[in-house]
Amino acid sequence: MDTYLRSVLRMIEPTPTQARGAQRSHRHLRELLDSGQMASRITGSYLSGSYSRDTAIYPLDDVDIIFTIDPTSWQTGLLGRLVRPSPDKVLESFARALRLRYPQTSVHTQRRSVRLALAHVDIDCVPAIEESPESAFIVVPDRKDGTWIRSSPTRHKLISAEVNAVNNGHLKPLVKLVKHWNASLPQTARVRSFLIETLAITLFSRQRMESLTDGLLQFFDFLAAQAGQARVSDWKDSYGVSLNAWATEVPDIAGTGTNVAAGMSAERRTRFLQRAVMARERTLKAVHANTSTAAQRHLAAALKHDD
């Protein structure tokens, strides 16, 4: 069964051509922003998101870049005390800088980033302020709320790598498979891919998977238990996750205090968990199948949800 899952992975991972194109584009953009007035405002940059954590699936839609900034370049101290600049003001200045450097390309200001829509990949530029020089935490702008939100892409990447290592390299492939499953769901049942990844890391930082098939079964079983179903795997805790009528909460693994599941409607949560229950049953059928052909058929049904 794992041999079959590895073949699925080869089909759903970004192609080498996509990866090389994304690499050229993000490097070129960072070089362009290291010029003019922006050069004095930006103190550093690094990749973020699924592309940097090696959990992206095909097609490689976007690449996230964190740009750490000097907040005093946007706003001076007030009454002798340094205050953070307006999120909208910072995002708009990034948008202007990108339009100046990419005059023929669409530039769109989003809630917490500025998107550069290139022909082969979108690049999301995320301005950020470091909490302190030695801190792993940053704050990023939120236009809607007019505030700065705590985040830690470096901790996300480190924790993902650590959990992948203790699970013998199975975590990242598993995340890609479950993201593929999530992407195949109806739009009304689909959740953010970062939520999928957070759930997987939360579970497998405490549990161990013996194989990709075992990981799939445990992941879907974890969600099925959230839906009130009897579990079939050997785990005994929800690890702070609540996806039920009383609470919808998935804590950020980086320790920012953020609820990754915030804003999920009860209808979406219910539909998502229903699909997870069905995927678990199909994975169980694969595990207990008498032939490899039958096992592969059940796994294909579990991942693609072709009901």
Model confidence pLDDT, tens digit, residues 17-44: 999 999 999 999 999 999 999 999 999 9
**H-state helical runs in the chain:** 2-12, 16-33, 36-41, 49-53, 87-101, 153-166, 171-184, 193-204, 212-226, 266-287, 292-304
Give the residue extent of every domain in the chain: 13-151, 156-304
What per-residue confidence (pLDDT) applies to 80?
Answer: 45
Nearest to 254 by CA among 126, 159, 171: 159
CB atoms inside a 10 Å sphere around CB 241: 22
What per-residue confidence (pLDDT) applies to 74?
Answer: 86
Residue 17: CB partners within 8 Å, gap ≥ 6?
Answer: none
Confidence check: pLDDT of 161 > 90: yes
Read out DSSP for 33-53?
A: HSSHHHHHHEEEEEEEHHHHH
Confidence check: pLDDT of 78 > 80: no
What per-residue confidence (pLDDT) applies to 226?
Answer: 96
What per-residue confidence (pLDDT) applies to 81?
Answer: 53
What per-residue confidence (pLDDT) applies to 29?
Answer: 97
**What would the mean pLDDT of 189-195 be, rounded to a whole number?**
97
pLDDT per residue over 43-76, tens digit each?
999 999 999 999 999 999 899 999 999 999 986 5
- Higher-confidence residue of 80 and 183: namely 183
SS3 116: strand
% of the chain surpassing 70 pLDDT: 96
Confidence check: pLDDT of 133 > 90: no
Contact yes or no for 234/243 (Cβ under 8 A): no
What per-residue confidence (pLDDT) applies to 107?
Answer: 98
What per-residue confidence (pLDDT) applies to 82?
Answer: 63
Nearest to 180 by CA among 64, 298, 300: 300
pLDDT per residue over 227-282, tens digit each?
999 999 988 899 999 999 899 999 999 999 999 999 999 999 999 999 999 999 99
**What would the mean pLDDT of 97-113 be, rounded to a whole number?**
97
H/E segment holding residue 306: none
Residue 156 corresponds to which tokens in the numbers above?
């996300």
What per-residue confidence (pLDDT) applies to 98?
Answer: 98
Q: Which architecture characterizes domain 13-151 according to CATH?
A: 2-Layer Sandwich (3.30)
- Higher-confidence residue of 182 and 134: namely 182
The mean pLDDT of the chain is: 94
The confidence band for 157, taking pLDDT boundaries of 50, 70 and 90, is very high
Q: Which fold has domain 156-304?
A: Poly(a)-polymerase, middle domain (1.10.1410)
| Cα 297 from chain centroid (whole Å) | 29
| Distance (Å) of CA 223 to CA 5, 176, 187, 213 | 20, 17, 18, 16
